Amino acid sequence: MKHALHEAAAERRWYYVAGEPLELWENADSPFGWSDGDLERYATGERWDLLFNALVLATLLESSPDAGAPPEPAAAATRPA
């Protein structure tokens, strides 16, 4: 039951990093971000896991020439892992 509730509250977003799709799941009550404000909020809240993930994602998206959200996540979802 807990797993079903978690999935209901989560939202999936897709980004391309270095030409590969990256699936990002987030809690709808507390959206994940990587802006300066988000980084500061994670650090002051001592959410080191979120801070690390935001820094890595921001660096990858910044350094990837084709970074951005894909037009349709369905195509990436059917791709084998």
50-78 pLDDT, tens per residue?
A: 999 999 988 887 776 665 554 444 444 44
Task: Look at residue 64 in the predicted model and tell me its pLDDT.
Answer: 65
Distances in whole angstroms, Cα of residue 78 to Cα of each of 11, 43, 45, 70, 81: 17, 36, 36, 14, 9
Q: What is the mean pLDDT of the chain?
A: 74
8 CB contacts (<8 Å, ≥6 apart)?
none
Tell me the two tokens of residue 20: 């590969």
Whole-prediction pTM: 0.53
